[in-house]
Amino acid sequence: MNQKINKSKKTIRFFLLVYIIYIPIFLLILYFSARAYKGFSIFHFFISDLGEKTAPFHNLFQISVIIFGFLSFFFVQELSDFLPDSKFLKTSIFFLFLTYFLIILAAIFSSDEIPVMHQLLGEVFFVSIFVACFCLIYPMFKSKQISNFLIVLNFVFLFFWILGTISYVGLKSNYGSFWTTEMNLAEFARTQKSFILRNITLWEWMIFSLAILLNFLISIIILKNQKRVAEKRSPPDIFNSIIE
């Protein structure tokens, strides 16, 4: 039984390490996909635009997002064992699993092929990640391994999310859903005001980037403290305790 548990722990830690290595690769794929897309700008294009058929490397982008979502499950599993247990943590873990499952689905159902489904997934995704990060506030405060910098970074993420949501709600109230027009997603984004606080595409990029940065830094901390995680996971060895 212990051998199976140890094997499972090693497997999860291995994929967490793969996740840490993959994040810079994923960011490079995003960067070069955007660079190859003529006229692309984070001020006028959503992340999802890189997955549309008009994007030069849309297949590579979609596959990279699916891999990112899959590897994120191992990060969430390790996070659930790393932070102090509480109802807030359990709620956060549930919504984090939901968040990365939605990312995978959003990559499969691209915005140009099934726009209604894609926008619905995107909206649920952003609500889910907000609830997850909000519920992480208490466990992060209680953890001795999480630095004040990461706690502040989480608050910055929540603040950006609020500004992005205000921008998105304002855009929808003025123009409706993008699938009700003859414009594609990128063209729809250009109808908004250029003022930075109303630029939903920019806020989406900033929110997504901050989330990845948080995941990356916390994953490194988890690996550095893997001995503590292992002790927390391992069941008490009753036989040895009796002998001693």
pLDDT (tens digit, 0 to 9) for every residue of the chain, 244 residues total? 555 556 677 788 889 999 999 999 999 999 999 999 988 888 888 898 898 888 899 899 999 999 999 999 999 999 999 999 999 999 999 999 999 999 999 998 887 777 778 888 888 999 999 999 999 999 999 998 999 999 999 999 999 998 888 877 776 666 655 544 444 445 555 555 555 566 778 888 999 999 999 999 999 999 888 755 455 555 444 334 333 3
Residue 38 covered by a domain? yes
**Is the distance from CB of 68 to CB of 89 less than 8 angstroms?**
no
Distance CA 103, CA 64 (A): 11
Domains in the chain: how many in total? 1
Residue 240 covered by a domain? no
60's tokens: 């590579």
Residue 156 covered by a domain? yes
Residue 186 covered by a domain? yes
First-to-final CA distance of the chain: 21
Largest CA distance in the chain: 76
pTM metric for this prediction: 0.81
Residues in the chain: 244
Residue 235 covered by a domain? no
Residue 74 covered by a domain? yes
Phi, psi torsion values for 166, nearest 5 degrees: -60, -40
Residue 237 covered by a domain? no
Note down the domain range covering 179: 2-229
- DSSP per residue, 117-172: HHHHHHHHHHHHHHHHHHHTHHHHHH-SSS-HHHHHHHHHHHHHHHHHHHHHHHHH
